Amino acid sequence: MNDHSPSKFLDRSTPPNIATLILLAGVSALCMNIFLPSLPSMTEYFDTDYGVMQLSIAVYLAVNAVLQIVVGPISDKFGRRPVILWGLVIFLVATIGCIYAPNAAIFLTFRMLQAAVVVAMVLSRAVVRDMVPADQAASMIGYVTMGMTVVPMLGPALGGVLDQYFGWQASFWMLFFAGLAVLWLTWRDLGETKSSSGLSLAQQFREYPELLLSPRFWGFSLANGFTSGAFFAYLGGAPFVATELFGMTSAEMGIYFGAPAVGYFIGNFLSGRYSARFGVNHMVLAGCAICGMGVAISLTTFLSGNGSAEVFFGFMTLVGIGNGLAIPNATAGALSVRPHLAGTASGLTGAIMIGGGAALSALAGALLSAETGAFPLLILMLATSLSGLCAILLVIRREKQLGL
């Protein structure tokens, strides 16, 4: 951890204000889900299949994952501030490209470039780890992600309304102006928190094996990836469930779609409040268990013949709570295994999470049909939740072996 002067708002010679970190993470999250209610209208606009437009989630997440692998070491070498600023600039250019894309192929190309905004989410966590020690980092990451959930919680509802009254491009204009505002705020407020590592970029990348050979790092990262994987599967499959099975309009879907984000807000608040008291491992364990419980109850209700939109989306609130408990604590745990590689660890953890999310999102979209109903999605979500629970139990067992 570097020795920094106290934070002063809009003073780029000091560490950033927590509000700046919240908005950096928020604009990245908003880019992922604000346009989801528009997928049916975008399919019609580009005269293509729903499966093609659904790739706008999967390809975004895939590029997002690749970028996270490289952005951590780059920021450890060159600093957090320049990498964040350049990522936001690329995001703004790509968003304009999405708006004016003449066909689905060009839209998907610019959609992949939009993934540059991931630097905002990855490095906002690394900045936290630069500023405070491990126990405080879990709480502060919890508060940052709690605040950022307000944005994506409102995003699908807002996107649904914008789509219904102004067309699908309105959501992307919203992203553009939000990104422009955050770029200005970051330029003014985010002082550098990471001194140069003193290593060449090639040497920085060669630090990866130190993380990859750590069982605890893998345990935290996989607990994070599997538990969040339930949510990413939901992102890929819920629009189909809402429109094809329950006949919702884009505005209705936007409102229902925010159910996990409500839970995520609650879970992150609990993380910020109790992580330091109960410890990272117990919070991740509780989060994985609650996530699995929510999906299991929903699946059981559907199997009994009582499934409905209210049941499907309502129990997704528990998935959100579980994610809110698990993700900030698992992230803090992974970043604290090797504190001098916090940026690299943040990027690699995020890549595992988002890469797995891309695969699960695409798989969920491919498995669903009018004949199968919501069952493939719920089974997939339950399997990933239980896998996350196994991962954190292995971390706890490993730490007992090491006497930690």
* pLDDT tens digit sequence for 141-196: 766 766 665 666 677 778 888 988 899 999 999 999 999 999 999 998 887 877 66
pLDDT at 224 over 70: yes
* Contacts for 370-375: CB closer than 8 Å, 24+ residues apart: 370/244, 370/245, 373/245, 373/302, 373/307, 374/237, 374/241, 374/245, 374/302, 374/307, 374/312, 375/299, 375/302
Q: Which of 99-108, 166-175, 340-349 has the lowest mean pLDDT?
A: 340-349
What pLDDT does residue 97 have?
96
What pLDDT does residue 3 have?
45
- Comparing 210 with 153, the larger pLDDT belongs to 210
Q: Which tokens is 197 given?
A: 């590592």
Give the single-character DSSP code of 116.
Answer: G
Task: Please state, in angstroms and rounded to a whole number, the distance separating the CA atoms of residues 277 and 255.
Answer: 35
pLDDT at 383 over 90: yes
- Comparing 7 with 352, the larger pLDDT belongs to 352
Would 8 be classed as within a structural domain?
no
Would 193 be classed as within a structural domain?
no
DSSP-derived 3-state class of residue 270: helix
Would 13 be classed as within a structural domain?
no
Q: Which tokens is 144 given?
A: 């940052």
pLDDT at 137 over 60: yes
Q: How many CB atoms lie within 10 A of CB 98?
A: 23
Q: Whole domain around residue 240: which residue ranges?
A: 18-188+200-402
Task: Please state, in angstroms and rounded to a whole number, the distance separating the CA atoms of residues 27 and 178.
Answer: 7
What is the largest distance, in Å, between two alpha-carbon atoms of the chain? 62
pLDDT interval class at 220 (50, 70, 90): very high
pLDDT interval class at 2 (50, 70, 90): very low
Would 11 be classed as within a structural domain?
no
pLDDT at 5 over 60: no
Residues 242-250, mean pLDDT to the nearest whole number: 84
pLDDT interval class at 105 (50, 70, 90): very high
Would 5 be classed as within a structural domain?
no
Percent of the chain with pLDDT over 90: 31
H or E element: which one contains 278? helix 259-278
Residues 61-86, mean pLDDT to the nearest whole number: 82
Q: How many domains does the chain have?
A: 1
* pLDDT tens digit sequence for 188-204: 888 787 766 566 667 66
Query: Nearest-5° angle of CA 266, CA 354, CA 312?
Result: 50
Would 7 be classed as within a structural domain?
no
- Comparing 281 with 356, the larger pLDDT belongs to 281
Q: What is the CATH number of the domain that holds 342?
A: 1.20.1250.20
* pLDDT tens digit sequence for 269-295: 898 788 888 888 999 999 999 999 999
How many residues are given for the chain? 404
Would 4 be classed as within a structural domain?
no
Mean pLDDT (the chain) is: 84
Would 235 be classed as within a structural domain?
yes
